Structure 1
Amino acid sequence: MQIRERTKDITFLSFNQTNTCLLVGTKAGYTLWRTDPFDQCTRGFSDHPIHLCEMFFSTSLLAVVCNSSVENFTPRVLYLYNTKIDQVICLLRFNEDIQSVKLNQQYLVVVLKQSIIIYTLEKIEPVCTLDMYFNQTTPVPPEALSNPPIVALCPQKPILAYPCDPARGNVCLARLNEPGSARTPTPTSSGASTTDAETYGSYQILEAHDHPVVALAFRKDGQWLATASAKGTIIRVWDTESKAMVMELKRSSVGRQAHIHSLAFSDDGTMLVVSSSSKTIHIFAIQGEKKSEKSCAFIRLDQEGITETKHISSFKPDNQTIQVAFADGQYFHFRLPPPGSTNKKCERAEHHSLLSTSS
């Protein structure tokens, strides 16, 4: 999650694909924290503000984008950086600012304002360039381009999801070919690659919401995709094979709107945690065929004395602990209620500072 407030020291927050590490970008470099036990692992790019920072699972490989006026450290340059040897192993330059970076076992995905460039991770070779808003029915509104594009990449499988019409809640599910089997993209007169489905695999259009989609998350195996719209009242879970809706989850029983900050499945895929601009973090059970399901557990931030609203959350690998990182530098662990308990409130277990040099 990017933090755009000038008063914040933290500029970016992101969990890795296994939720075992937390990347914290600041105005003076990044810090990588191990989440269990909570401990600082490494720091880097200490002379430059961080724009984006993405970790490759639990390895020493990071994708780093800075936000400086210094040459080579602008938002148009992507560094692939090895923390173990403290060395940049690859540098990629672009003609416009990088909006997001995603990594999985097969691909490196670089998101620009209206396009997505896909590279093989093994050789960092471009596979194709996708037009993000190819499904739009009207011109892209300026306000849509003022926010970073939303893109989700399945950790285990080459499946990509992104909104393809900024005026409606349509999502493109792109199934990429395995590296080595993709056809060579065909250049166009403008120099960009085509978005022909045969170039990179196949795609489907998911009519997920009536309003623009602002949050996406895959289950680890890619079988399910969670979506949320700009209204933020309903979260839907979809089967990525059949496009059938698995569940419809109500974040607010009275229709109070909120901006969704993050969606995250538990490691076993049976729960979903939803963070938003409201004072409540909701945890949903994703089981059976029930519709309009209410949350099975919650974290009430104001009851915990937490006033900061900008945050991201995820499950720890034990599937029983919610970890929450805030833009003001606070980091919490909350325990889910015991099975069968009538109490739905999560219990606070740990609290640490993300801006200190030690836990």
Structure 2
Amino acid sequence: MATLSACPSPPWPNPNPDSNPNPNFLGDQSQTLDLDSIMPRQSILPQHKGVDDDSNSQGDTTSQELPAPKPMLPSLLQLSFNQDQACFAAATDNGFRIYNCDPFRELFRREFDGANGTTCGIGHVEMLFRCNILALVGGGSNPQYPPKKMMIWDDHQGRCIGELSFRAAVRGVRLRRDRIIVILEQKIFLYNFADLKLLHQIETVANPKGLCAISHLADSLVLACPGLHKGQIRVEHYALKRTKFISAHDSRIACFALTLDGQLVATASTKGTLVRIFDTVNGTLLQEVCGIFNF
């Protein structure tokens, strides 16, 4: 069961970038939001202090300052692409970073400081296309947020504007312009984006990786998730009000992906020898690719 925190007025930003006059903070230079004013661009690695030339010229010329120890890079906890595959987000043990795919470059980062010089981690970050709304879940040894909460982060304001709390750890999040999907180990919750109203909940087999896929066309919503049995995929066609169970593999499901319209699903098992493509409406096996895959 999830609980919703109170949000400031107005209760919720418009999640649809197409209808928001200034939605993008990752887009072109015509936007009004100045990223540099929100987060000064910093090097990934802090600069080492070099030898002070003035002090060395006046002191013992044979002495040298030892080089500073190499700083530790943050640990990567999770990666996820945005809905059109143009960007991806990296969750780390000190925050999150957003990268552009082509050309590849870091767009910006958020780092969260804890007490006594520590940093706080994000275990999962999910983008909504290129707009300012992201979903965050705390993670790592020092989580920024409780792992049983899903936070809605508005990067325009630089703060969380809402949250959903659960009785178990959140394993994953998926976003559409009109829906939020939160994945627990054995349940999936579907919410309306505008008011966070719970629309549907689904029971699944044990799903520690938070496997779930959704379509992204505006006129159809298709959700794929593990079924209640090993190797089974459950597909929800919400526009058709139809549920389809597909016995995809004999072994446990390792990963799967939907097409943008949700009409096809590609699946792979932990055995790692086959990728199968199914029609999601009738469950027909359309193609099978043999090989050795490491999932």
- When the two structures are superposed, what TM-score results if normalisation uses the length of structure 1? 0.56
Aligned to 2:137: 65
Q: Pairwise mapping of residues 1-359 of structure 1 onto structure 2 (< 5 A)?
A: 9-47=75-113, 48-67=120-139, 73-133=145-205, 144=206, 147-156=208-217, 157-166=220-229, 168-177=230-239, 201-252=241-292, 258-260=293-295
| Residues 72 and 12 (structure 1), Cα distance of their counterparts in 2 relative to 1, 3 Å cut | closer
1:107/1:158 contact within 8 Å kept: no
Report the Cα distance in structure 2 between the residues aligned to 1:71 and 1:49, rounded to whole angstroms.
5
**What secondary structure, in the 3-state scheme, does the structure 1 residue paired with 2:286 have?**
strand
Partner Cα distance (2:289, 2:141) in 1: 44
Gap runs ≥5 in structure 2: 1-72, 114-119
CA contact (8 A) 1:232 1:259 kept: yes
Provide Cα deviations, 1:16-46, integer angstroms capped at 9, x if missing partner: 1111111011110001111222222222252
How much does 1:234 deviate?
A: 0.4
* Equivalent residue number for residue 345 of structure 1: none
Residues 106 and 158, structure 1, Cα contact 8 Å, conserved in 2: no
Larger radius of gyration between Structure 1 and Structure 2: 2
Q: Deviations over 1:282-306 (max 9, x none)?
A: xxxxxxxxxxxxxxxxxxxxxxxxx
2:254 and 2:269 in contact (8 A); partners too: yes
Match for 1:58: what amino acid?
R
State the aligned residue count.
215
Uncovered stretches (5+) of structure 1, i.e. residues with no partner = 1-6, 134-143, 179-200, 253-257, 261-359
Q: Which amino acid aligns with 1:211?
A: S
Give the residue type in structure 2 aligned to 1:173: V
Q: Structure 1: which amino acid aligns with 2:225? A: Y
Q: Deviations over 1:86-138 (max 9, x none)?
A: 232211111110011011232100011111111011222111221113xxxxx
Does the CA contact (< 8 Å) of 1:165 and 1:212 recur in 2?
Answer: no
User: For the residues of structure 2 that align with 1:170 and 1:56, how far apart are their CA atoms?
Assistant: 28
> How far is 1:84 from its partner?
2.4
Structure 2 counterpart of 1:32, which letter?
A: I
1:4 corresponds to:
none
Alpha-carbon distance change, 42 to 243 in structure 1, aligned in 2, over 3 angstroms: same
Please give the alpha-carbon distance, in whole angstroms, between the structure 1 residues aligned to 2:144 and 2:109. 19
Identity of aligned residues (%): 26
Cα distance, 1:72–1:46 mapped onto 2, change above 3 Å: closer
Given that 2:123 and 2:143 are in contact with CA atoms closer than 8 Å, whether structure 1 keeps it comes out as no
**How far, CA to CA, are the matches of 1:72 and 1:94 in structure 2?**
16
Q: Please say if residues 276 and 289 of structure 2, whose CA atoms lie closer than 8 Å, have aligned partners that are also in contact.
A: yes
SS of the equivalent of 2:277 reads: strand
Render the CA deviation track for 1:48-100: whole Å, top value 9, x for unaligned: 21111100112111100012677971111111112223232211111110011
Structure with greater strand percent = 1
If the length of structure 2 is used for normalisation, what is the TM-score? Answer: 0.67
